[in-house]
Amino acid sequence: MISPKPLPCFVDRRTADHRGFTLVELLVVIVIIAILAAIIFPVVSSMMRQGNQTASAANLRQWYSGFGASLGDNDGSMPSDGAANGFNPGDQTAWFNRIPLQLKITPCASFGSNWPRLHSKSIWVNPQVPLSASPGGSFIFCYAFNTYLSNATQINQKFANVEHPDRTILMSEKADLKPDLDPTTIRSYFGSGNPTDPLVDINNAANILFCDGHVQLVKRSVFGAGQTYDPNFYASSYDQLPLTWLPNATATQ
């Protein structure tokens, strides 16, 4: 008797090819994704912060080129800090109107309601400043002029009076409604500190434009953690400090 041939064994390929993940496999994938995100996110964030720092430093260099040109048109006199008797957008002696004219960009007096917004590409805007820094959508100054160089009591200060241009602050980064700069108003969004704490963290750093035109990333531990400015200290230590706000040791504020 001839035995019948066994029926060929076949597998339902639909079932084999479309088998779902097990719970363990899903958990493994989720853990791997979480680990990769934890590694990649800080790297990407650091790269973006470094790129913003470079862009902000470039903005300050542009401000200096306009500043230098404005000196030639004003007999060597520096513009004012624009804060005398309160902020006046139409003040033609202020840096925010005098320098932009040299750079062929819209001065503050002509902004109206069309001022540069945060996160837009503009010489007025530090790309690292968060949108939350602008109260009520108002225009804020991401850069400002050293108030101890040319203010209400130092009108038409001559740039030639700056004794140490390589150490004297001209402009730096900030983020508020006022156009003048002092040690208590610098905002430091870069460096190794917490960028969300730009006023106090001593490991944060800010781009500072010096009177000789160079831009340097300076830690808050060097220029101060929001402390009150002491002109007597700066005057008495003028020749020893790594940076100064005063044009010369005899300057009175």
CA distance 74 to 111: 24
Give residue 49's pLDDT. Answer: 81
Residue 162 has pLDDT above 80, yes or no: yes
Tell me: the pLDDT tens digits for 49-82?
A: 899 999 999 999 999 999 999 999 999 999 999 9
User: Which two tokens mark 178?
Assistant: 């006022």
pLDDT > 90? residue 32:
no
d(CA 111, CA 108): 5
By mean pLDDT, which of 11-15, 54-58, 245-249 is the weakest? 11-15
Indicate the domain borders of the chain.
Answer: 23-112+120-236
pTM: 0.81
**Residue corresponding to tokens 């005098």:** 98
Find the helix or strand (DSSP H, E) in which 45 lies. Answer: helix 23-73
Q: Looking at residue 152, what is its pLDDT?
A: 60
pLDDT higher at 97 or 12 = 97
Q: Residues near 165 by Cβ (< 8 Å), separated by ≥ 6?
A: 210, 211, 212
Is residue 143 classed as helix, strand or coil in its secondary structure?
strand
